[in-house]
Amino acid sequence: MNKIVFHPDETTLPAAMQDGRFDVVLYGPRPMRQATGSVGNQLSAAVASLGVRIDERVFDFLTIALAVIAADTFIDRDQWAANGWSREIELDIPLAQPAIWTPVLPALKKALDFLSGDQWGISLQSGGPRPPNQAAILRKRKKIGIGAADCVSLFSGGLDSLLGVSKLVADGRTPVLVSHSYRGDKSYQRDLVPRIGKQLPWFEANAHPVKTGGGPHDTSMRTRSLGFLAYGVVVASAVASTRGAAQGQIDLFVPENGFIALNAPLTRRRVGSHSTRTTHPYFLNLIQEVLNAVGLPVRLTNEFRHYTKGEMMDEAAQAGRPTDIFSRTVSCGKWKRKNTQCGYCVPCLIRKAAFFKAGIDDHTRYRYDVAEAWRDPKIRDDLLAVVLAARNGTEDSRARAIASGPLPFEIVERDGWFSVNERGLSEVSEYLRSKGITG
């Protein structure tokens, strides 16, 4: 069951399950037929809330992203990965304009293979879902006012996204915030937004992949970032349509510190399943290549790609921007399990080190302090990996950066990634040394 066939509505579902495939409805509720699924229910309504007609090419990109998220969720890695990690996944996707997308499938496949560690195949069909028409837009009573916006920024509720949006506001920009509205994420996002210092338009969406009849789900969520980007591209295209073609490309900001964006493996055994690639330059460059090729007026921008998290925080503090809300953000990779940030995973360690580097008090509530975690062999794996990586020096740091994935060929840009990887690791190791942890 590594082939997933997508349908524009429930009426095109086959009457019974067919061997070797799983059928999923796009933009609709959970189907009545057993052993099927849906993805993107309510998303079309969210797009209508932007108040403008969306280009079919943009909606096709969103459809592709939803198909990828559904497949990643429904094809359980433990069951279907031949080598314990990498799956072979075939998608059959109906699009509004499939001919436009066929030439970019090789670049899209490269991006997906890199993002999730799987092998992806994509077949495109005609007759796909179309964006909300004018009647659907007019029926939407509550709309997002994007008329004053001049850019778009992804807003997860994490520290980097808060720093990114705060800097845009301080620079006089008016971004539309774009967020995943997953359960749990909403609470801290909604706590932060009123504290940014400027009322901003805010687009929230959820892919919401669901099965009829249950069954295992994969929980790695490697491809969630493609959906996040797709929401951003939809909103940026809407902003572009309100500003006119003369304004050129609209910036879609993807605020992430360079150390975590590169996410170089700390040890050899972390090259695969322990390394996420959601904002790696190779992935973002491939997606930008796809957007350019199909003519979408969106420019992906990560202004912080050569900054460590601590440097981002220090810049904000030096510029006089409020720092008291930093502790209200969430960075932890495990927080949903206990609704508290763990304090010992790699994102938590980078976060703690950033507060230390910037000299800002950290009032975050963590389950463990690093000394406790270091003493517990069951949870100190990430700590030990950081300590071991810090021992190995600059040359090993560069080798790990290269192992994270292809880097830009341009020398200044490439050296910027090498440097931020070294400084990021140094930032964390200095924090650990301050706590008496040296291995």
- pLDDT, position 333: 76
Round to whole Å and give the CA distance between 113 and 121: 10
Round to whole Å and give the CA distance between 351 and 348: 5
pLDDT at 185 over 70: no
Per DSSP, the three-state class of 72 is helix
Q: Is the dihedral of CA 155, 161, 164, 167 positive or negative?
A: positive
CA dihedral 17, 23, 24, 28 (to 10 degrees): -50
Task: Considering only residues 380 and 353, tell me which one the structure prediction assigns the higher pLDDT.
Answer: 353
Weakest mean pLDDT among 34-48, 171-185, 263-277, 331-345: 263-277
Round to whole Å and give the CA distance between 255 and 160: 6
φ/ψ of residue 263, rounded to 5: 50, 50
Percentage of the chain beyond pLDDT 70 is: 92
Weakest mean pLDDT among 127-141, 305-319, 321-335: 321-335
pTM of the model: 0.94
pLDDT at 273 over 50: no
Q: What are the structure tokens assigned to 15, written together?
A: 């009457």
Q: Is the dihedral of CA 104, 51, 150, 325 positive or negative?
A: negative
Round to whole Å and give the CA distance between 378 and 412: 41
Q: Which residues of 243-267 are buried (b: 16+ CB within 10 A; e: fewer)?
A: beeeeeebbbbbbbbbbbbbbbbbe
Rg (CA), the chain: 22
Residues 6+ apart with CB under 8 A from 89: 2, 3, 4, 71, 72, 75, 118, 119, 120, 121
- pLDDT, position 272: 44
Round to whole Å and give the CA distance between 327 and 188: 11
Q: pLDDT tens-digit profile of 294-321?
A: 999 999 999 999 999 999 999 999 999 9
- pLDDT, position 274: 44
pLDDT at 212 over 90: no
pLDDT at 137 over 50: yes
Contact between 373 and 341 (Cβ < 8 Å): no
Contact between 157 and 185 (Cβ < 8 Å): yes
